[in-house]
Amino acid sequence: MEALMQENRVFHPPADFVKGAAIPSMEAYNKLCAEAEKDYDGFWARLANENIYWKKPFTKVLDESKAPFYKWFEDGTTNASYNCLDINVEKGLGNKTAIIFEADDGTVSNVTYQEMLERVCKMANALRKMGIKSGDRVIIYMSMSIEGIVAMQACARIGAIHSVVFGGFSAKSLQERIVDVGACAVITGDEQLRGGKPLPLKVIVDEALTLGGCEKIKNVIVYKRTGGNVAMTAGRDSWMHDVVANESTTCEPEWVSAEHPLFILYTSGSTGKPKGVQHSTGGYLLWAILTMKWTFDIKPEDIFWCTADIGWVTGHSYITYGPLAVGATEIVFEGVPTFPNAGRFWHMIQKHKATIFYTAPTAIRSLIKASSNDEAVHPKSYDLSSLRLLGSVGEPINPEAWMWYYENVGGSRCPIADTFWQTETGGHMISPLPGATPMIPGSCTLPLPGIMAAIVDEAGADVPNGQGGILVVKRPWPSMIRNIWNDPDRFVKSYFPEELGGTLYLAGDGAIRNKDTAYFTITGRIDDVLNVSGHRMGTMEIESCLVANPLVAEAAVVGRPDELTGEAICVFVVLKGGRPTGDDAKKIATELRNWVGKQIGPIAKPKDVRFGDNLPKTRSGKIMRRLLRVIAKGEEITQDTSTLENPAILEQLKEAL
């Protein structure tokens, strides 16, 4: 933190970037901010009218009467798929490549806007034929593919609400989401291919559907990706190619209110149960479009590449909706960055002449490591001269990784947009504007125009620059979360807590603003949420999973810093049968890791497992997690342990396996 605040290298936007930029100076940025300050409704109304096709124009911009259940553009009607596809075809972009898809094995297939529109219409017609209507929920459990994007767009076209579940989640996680969202259909694949290996999808869906509560599922639609052997249940399961075969290539969109939910995406919070983050249609789409224009400065000739998965919000906003809504050409990649070798990203940038590249710090850090003693996979061995802008998302990017990215990938000529945002925010909140904002490595700089981000203390009062605090947003914005599906109370309590006065949006992160520049630096989560390789994980979720194992009596989960993954999951376990040692302990640790992998998904597997006869507790029985955090880091405990009931336990827990 100290080092970050002392970071004084400043990188100004390059002159030739500034020339054509959408926001070409700090004056232009300040002007937009001032416009929002002066007339908030007018600012958003202007942008919504300029950027979205409204079937029926809205007459009211923001309705705050039921705050914090804000409504934007509510009486306006529109359709997200129409705004992404039809609009571009009507503008004459039918023959423009919408998606350059590169498969795991390097095979490339392109689709134009016209073809995308036809495929989405066919799929939308097929869904309608199955009886799926506006407002129905559809689970999408697919790998990175054109078909995945078609499935999402087809739902949007008919007003069905999609809920994409990341392909790395387990059957149990999938079932929990199917039940919570009350889905009537699942769209999946036979298998997915990653790093040359087929991984199951359909088998996991089949298992999920046997776990109970999934009786509402009437249809399972399967995209044939590998041709692997999967069971098809008659009357329920069908192949995607069969259901679309005879459908028309046109499909009248469902014109929905701007407030109609476009999707629900589950994310982790500070309890054991993931939250179904509900997003709107109009406000969400508006911000996806504006951030494509402002943060990514998208131009008609750009080749845009966001490496995220459609299972996360980044894939929603910057693969499925944002790039298509602005008529861009984008790369969609099925595989992993290390296959067939760790030069895959650089090779693909060179091959497809990508101009904008948006990835996660974890990927950057792992590729720094992989190329440190292997010239062949170092970005310098590739022609990356097509790049003009880089982006980072999902976790703090440390200044060393920033510098490496800037120099080796961007050739010291591309600005880096370090974009701070969340599943709940729908799109970027705080980020440099590449043609305007001077960049400081490790800082996400300033809020985008119209985003009233601030830092407050525990009572909700502003703190001065230079003093750390809680990151909040003071005014509602169009792409904000609308609700937690099925749990409006949790929505209010999680995001608009009474303690802060009830009107501030609580992001869940700590932050600090620089005394001189007022730039924001995110200091990490202030709740029980971990960020492992940019994946968000609740410690309570992992704890409840562990205590569900028959061997486990008690468990506590904390994070510790990790060079590669940002944070690593560290678990402290008390077994029912006493504390294991030696090979026994190793065996049980592996068993517990696999258990978490099976119950939640491989991304939640703990890195460290430690056993004790007990956990450090206060006399009232509360687990002292702050001590566990110190032990997890391998540091000496210098904090006060006088309230600790059982100090001897600390020595046991220090023993790593």
Q: What is the CA radius of gyration of the chain?
A: 24
Residue 309, both tokens: 């998965």
CB of 77 to ligand PRX, least distance (A): 29
CB of 102 to ligand PRX, least distance (A): 22
Residue 552 assigned ligand-binding role: yes
CB of 542 to ligand PRX, least distance (A): 16
Residue 196 assigned ligand-binding role: yes
Nearer to ligand PRX, 9 or 60 (CB): 9
Residue 104 assigned ligand-binding role: no
Nearer to ligand PRX, 410 or 508 (CB): 508
CB of 185 to ligand PRX, least distance (A): 25
How many Å apart are CA 144 and CA 332, to the nearest integer? 7
Nearer to ligand PRX, 153 or 423 (CB): 423
Nearer to ligand PRX, 355 or 423 (CB): 423
Q: Which residue in 330, 4, 411 sits closest to 144, CA to CA?
A: 330
> Could you tell me where the beta strands, DSSP code E, fall in 514-656?
520-525, 529-532, 535-538, 552-562, 566-575, 608-611
CB of 511 to ligand PRX, least distance (A): 9
Task: Using DSSP bridges, classify how beta strands 483-484 and 469-473 pair: parallel, antiparallel or unpaired.
Answer: unpaired
CB of 389 to ligand PRX, least distance (A): 15
Nearer to ligand PRX, 219 or 359 (CB): 359
Q: Which residue in 162, 89, 388, 429 sits closest to 290, CA to CA?
A: 429
Residue 509 assigned ligand-binding role: yes
Q: Which residue in 376, 296, 338, 383 sits closest to 17, CA to CA?
A: 296
Residue 652 assigned ligand-binding role: no
| CA-to-CA dists, residue 586 to 188, 425, 571, 655, angstroms | 36, 41, 14, 12
CB of 531 to ligand PRX, least distance (A): 5
CB of 537 to ligand PRX, least distance (A): 9
How many Å apart are CA 617 and CA 647, to the nearest integer? 9
Residue 421 assigned ligand-binding role: yes
Nearer to ligand PRX, 443 or 549 (CB): 443
Give the interface with ligand PRX as residue ranges (CB under 6 A).
267, 313-314, 393-396, 418-423, 444, 507-509, 522, 525, 531, 536
CB of 535 to ligand PRX, least distance (A): 7
CB of 126 to ligand PRX, least distance (A): 31
Q: Which residue in 529, 549, 551 sits closest to 541, CA to CA?
A: 529
Nearer to ligand PRX, 444 or 650 (CB): 444
Q: Which residue in 511, 522, 272 sits closest to 397, CA to CA?
A: 522
State which amino acid sits at residue 247.
E
CB of 471 to ligand PRX, least distance (A): 8
Report DSSP letters for 494-546, one per residue.
HHS-GGGTSSSEEEEEEEEE-TTT--EEEEEESSSEEEETTEEEEHHHHHHHH
Residue 131 assigned ligand-binding role: no
How many Å apart are CA 61 and CA 375, to the nearest integer? 55
Task: Using DSSP bridges, classify how beta strands 416-419 and 535-538 pair: parallel, antiparallel or unpaired.
Answer: unpaired
Torsion of CA 284, 288, 290, 292, to 10 degrees: 180
Residue 482 assigned ligand-binding role: no
Widest distance between CA atoms in the chain? 73
Q: Calculate the CA 632 to chain-centre distance.
A: 27
How many Å apart are CA 502 and CA 460, to the nearest integer? 9
- H-helix or E-strand containing 441? none
Residue 626 assigned ligand-binding role: no
Residue 394 assigned ligand-binding role: yes
Residue 491 assigned ligand-binding role: no
Which residues on neighbouring strands pair with residue 510, listed in sequence order? Answer: 470, 524
Residue 197 assigned ligand-binding role: yes
Q: Nearest residue to ligand PRX, using CB? A: 423
Nearer to ligand PRX, 159 or 441 (CB): 441
What's 409's DSSP letter?
I
How many Å apart are CA 52 and CA 45, to the nearest integer? 11
Residue 611 assigned ligand-binding role: no
Nearer to ligand PRX, 25 or 422 (CB): 422
Residue 536 assigned ligand-binding role: yes
Residue 42, both tokens: 């007018």
Residue 419 assigned ligand-binding role: yes
Nearer to ligand PRX, 267 or 371 (CB): 267
For 266, the 3-state DSSP assignment is: strand
- H-helix or E-strand containing 351? helix 344-352
Omega into 68 within 30° of 0, i.e. cis? yes
Nearer to ligand PRX, 17 or 420 (CB): 420
How many Å apart are CA 354 and CA 102, to the nearest integer? 13
Nearer to ligand PRX, 43 or 421 (CB): 421
Nearer to ligand PRX, 58 or 318 (CB): 318
CB of 411 to ligand PRX, least distance (A): 22
| CA-to-CA dists, residue 607 to 559, 565, 571, 589, angstroms | 10, 11, 8, 10
Residue 410, both tokens: 């961007």
Q: Considering Cα of 289, then 291, then 292, then 298, what sign does the dihedral take? A: positive
CB of 144 to ligand PRX, least distance (A): 16
How many Å apart are CA 108 and CA 103, to the nearest integer? 6
CB of 431 to ligand PRX, least distance (A): 8
How many Å apart are CA 355 and CA 378, to the nearest integer? 19
Residue 54 assigned ligand-binding role: no
Nearer to ligand PRX, 321 or 572 (CB): 321
Per the annotation, binding residues are 194-197, 314, 394-396, 418-423, 509, 525, 533, 536, 547, 552
Binding-site residues for ATP: 394-396, 418-423, 509, 525, 536
**Binding site membership for Mg(2+): which residues?**
547, 552
In the annotated binding site for CoA, the residues are 194-197, 314, 533
